[in-house]
Amino acid sequence: MRKISIIKKEHLNNNGKWSKRAETYDKSRFDYFRFMQKKLLSIIPVYTGFCFLDVGCGTGWAVAAMAKRLNGRGYFVGIDLAEGMILKAEQNFVGLENVAFYRASAELLPLADKTFNAAVCTNSFHHYIHPTKALNEIRRVLKPKGSVYILDVTADDVLTKAINCIVVKREKEHVRFYSTKEYRSMFRETRLRYVWSKVLGGYPLKVHQAVRD
C-alpha cells in the first residue's frame, strides 16, 4: 500500500509539473539519464537481503532495476514528492516482490531507522529546499556502514556555476547545483563520512558517496 507522509506546503509548489511529466518521463530523451543511473547502480555492491532506497525515484526505474538484479531477495523502496510519479511507478512495476513506492518529502521519510544498506539520489538533489535536512533523514534510515550516493550536476567550475545562475532564473523548482567541496561540507554537517566523488559519464555529472559510521 502506498504510504503518504506529512508534506509541507512549500514542498508541493511544483508537484503538478512533475506529476504531468510522469507520462513522458521514460521516453528516449531521458536515455542519458538512464545510462548514468545504470552506471551508478553497477558500482553498488549488493547481496541477498540487500535493502535499497531511491530518494526522488521518479517513475521507479532504479528501484525496479535493483529488485530485478537481486530477484526480489531484499527490500526496495522508492520515494517521490510527485503523486503522478508514484502512481506511474506503481503501474510500471506492479507484481515485483518486496518493492514499495511512497509519496513523501526527502525531508520527512516515512521509513524506519537503520533500515537500508544503500540510498541513491539521482538528479533530484538540486531541487531540495533544505538539503541538509534531507541528508539527515537519509542518514537516519541508513544502517551503520550504509552508503548514500548522490548523482547530480556538480558546480566545480566557473561555467557550471554560471549555468546554475541561469537555471535558477528559468526554473522555479531549481534550488542550486553544489560543488564537491559543498557536498563534503554537508556530509560532515550531517555526520556522514565522505568517501569519494567521481565522474562516471561526462562532467559536470558526478557521484558523491558518503557512509554512515
What is the spatial distance between Cα 62 and Cα 197, in angstroms, rounded to a whole number? 20
Residue 119 lies in a domain: yes
Q: Is the per-residue pLDDT at 2 higher than 50?
A: no
Residue 146 lies in a domain: no
Q: Is the per-residue pLDDT at 16 higher than 90?
A: no
Number of domains the chain contains: 1
What is the spatial distance between Cα 53 and Cα 62, in angstroms, rounded to a whole number? 9
List the domain range (segments joined by +) for residue 47.
9-139+152-211
Residue 172 lies in a domain: yes
Residue 95 lies in a domain: yes
Q: Is the per-residue pLDDT at 3 higher than 50?
A: no
Q: What is the mean pLDDT of residues 81-105?
A: 95
Q: What is the pLDDT of residue 202?
A: 86
- Calculate ∠ Cα 173-153-37, nearest 5°: 100
Q: Which pLDDT band, with edges at 50, 70 and 90, does 5 fall under?
A: very low
Residue 197 lies in a domain: yes
Spatial CA neighbour of 155 closest among 172, 168, 142, 145? 168
Q: Is the per-residue pLDDT at 78 higher than 60?
A: yes
What is the spatial distance between Cα 35 and Cα 40, in angstroms, rounded to a whole number? 9
CATH code assigned at 56? 3.40.50.150
For residue range 157-172, what is the model confidence (pLDDT) as tens digits?
A: 999 999 999 999 999 8
Which residue shows C-alpha cell 542519458?
32
Residue type, 25: Y
For residue range 36-60, what is the model confidence (pLDDT) as tens digits?
A: 999 999 999 999 999 999 999 999 9
For residue range 118-146, what is the model confidence (pLDDT) as tens digits?
A: 999 999 999 999 999 999 999 999 999 99
What one-character DSSP code corresponds to residue 105?
Answer: -
Residue 145 lies in a domain: no
Residue 76 lies in a domain: yes
Whether the Cβ atoms of residue 149 and residue 123 lie closer than 8 Å to each other: no
Residue 3 lies in a domain: no
